[in-house]
Amino acid sequence: MSQPHRRAVLNLYKTLLYMGRDWPQGYDFFRKRLHKVFTKNSGETNPEKIRIMIKHGEFVAKEIEVLYMLKKYRTMKRRYYDGS
């Protein structure tokens, strides 16, 4: 794996680990699944496939971020605008 790809993969892994702290099933569950996915694809040498997997990982990170924002929004809405 070339140096730019390696750096991008490590940054993606760190970002996802950080985001997994608030995962509903727990951080350990998230960390084990994330580690399994990254080790499964660790032998990939095709730069194009690596780039595609990095793009997919960035998409997943954005989706997780949106889910967290939605959860916070719903909590705030329930807290202040409860139907009473």
- Residue percentage of the chain with pLDDT more than 90: 69
Whole-structure pTM value: 0.81
Neighbour-count burial of 73, counting CB atoms closer than 10 A to its CB (0-12 exposed, 13-18 middle, 19+ buried): exposed
Torsion of Cα atoms, 4 then 23 then 27 then 35, to 10°: -40
For residue 51, pLDDT over 80 is answered with yes
Q: Is 42 helix (H, G, I), strand (E, B) or coil?
A: coil
pLDDT in tens, 16-45: 999 999 888 999 999 999 999 999 999 999
